Amino acid sequence: MTSTFLPPAEWAPHDAVWIGFPGNPEEWPAGQAEAQRNVAAFADAVHAGGKGERVELIARSDADAETAQKLVGPGVNVSVIPFGDIWLRDTGPIVVSDGTSLRARSFGFNGWGGKYVMAGDEIVPETLSERADLPFDANDWILEGGAIDGDGTGLAVTTAQCLLHPNRNAGVLQEDIERWLASDLGIDRLLWLGQGLMNDHTDGHVDNLARFVAPGVLAIPEPAGSSDPNRDVYADAARRARAFGVEVTTLPSPGRFEQDGEIVPASYMNFYIGNAAVVVPTYGRPNDDAAVRAIGALFPDREAVGVDAQGVIRGGGSFHCCSQQLPAL
């Protein structure tokens, strides 16, 4: 049975957004201060001087909260939850709506297939739900929020690399995933893409590859030249999306981006759509400005803001990954 509760599209109005603040030296053995500045700037951009939604910046300790408070502007709320990792898109609850009420739904989380298991992540969904005074439903199958993206109509996109990976829900079939998404999140149409970005430790989260930008309209990067390590991934994603019947719009790619000699899954697709601003991660690449302009053109009622993400990407993700919106009714 398909749930009557489903996640609203990200461009629908928000009451608030939860954002994780970096503070774990194991995750950022180098560059933690830069990552903190990146995330603070992201929080300020979403708040937009009071024009955006309420911003709840979550730190893992009192000391980190003190650092965060010094970095953000007035109006950003800072509080503490002793979490393990900042990627609240994946560890936090997914808030669903039936048009008249909201509920928070959580899923099993195993540290992206056992790669990064950190104490404290298990308390995040229920703690955030309680703070927001939301009814809370726990589901035991493994799903991270960054593994799906929807347009608010029951249509969503994912990658087979992630949702069918044996390190998540071993032995399940595609039809099992589709049935669970329908019953738990109201998703009745699911577009399966193939692989995610190279060296993505999430095993190919779709929010780094393809994002809905309007009902039935999916944004996918186009390669930045022949050296782009994800050129074949982008082409395959676009082919699958068009064959499924959704409209595809293309956006720039950062191209080949390395840190410490390794290719990093940097992506402009990890943008966040707030009430007043759409915030685009930038990486000091030639396509940064073009990406901000192109994404801004898709959301003409919002200000498009590019924010440096070169520090936070060292932890494996960017601004969409470290945030989770609380929809408004």
The structural domain count of the chain equals: 1
Residue type, 186: G
Residue type, 231: R
pLDDT given for residue 267 in this prediction: 98
pLDDT, tens only, 77-97: 999 999 999 999 999 999 999
Average pLDDT over residues 180-190: 98
State the chain's mean pLDDT as an integer.
97
pLDDT, tens only, 186-240: 999 999 999 999 999 999 999 999 999 999 999 999 999 999 999 999 999 999 9
**DSSP assignment of 290-319:** HHHHHHHHH-TTSEEEEEE-TTGGGGT--T
pLDDT given for residue 150 in this prediction: 98
pLDDT, tens only, 116-149: 899 999 999 999 999 999 999 999 999 999 999 9
Residues 6+ apart with CB under 8 A from 199: 262, 263, 264, 265
In this structure, is residue 247 part of a structural domain?
A: yes
At 39, the pLDDT band (50, 70, 90 cuts) reads very high
Closest CA to 132 of 17, 9, 276: 17
Q: What is the pTM of this model?
A: 0.98
pLDDT given for residue 28 in this prediction: 82
Range of the domain at 117: 14-327
In this structure, is residue 8 part of a structural domain?
A: no
In this structure, is residue 3 part of a structural domain?
A: no
Kindly list the catalytic residues.
Answer: 321
User: 96 by DSSP, 3-state: which?
Assistant: strand
In this structure, is residue 6 part of a structural domain?
A: no
**DSSP assignment of 116-184:** S--TTGGGHHHHHHHHTT--EEEEEEE--GGG-EE-SSSEEEEEHHHHT-TTTSTT--HHHHHHHHHHH
CATH code of the domain in which 65 resides: 3.75.10.10
- Using a pLDDT cut of 90, give the percent of the chain over it: 96
Q: Is 73 left (phi over 0), alpha (psi -120 to 50) or beta?
A: beta
In this structure, is residue 2 part of a structural domain?
A: no
As a whole number of angstroms, the distance between CA 314 and CA 106 comes to 27
Element (H, E) at 109: none
In this structure, is residue 5 part of a structural domain?
A: no
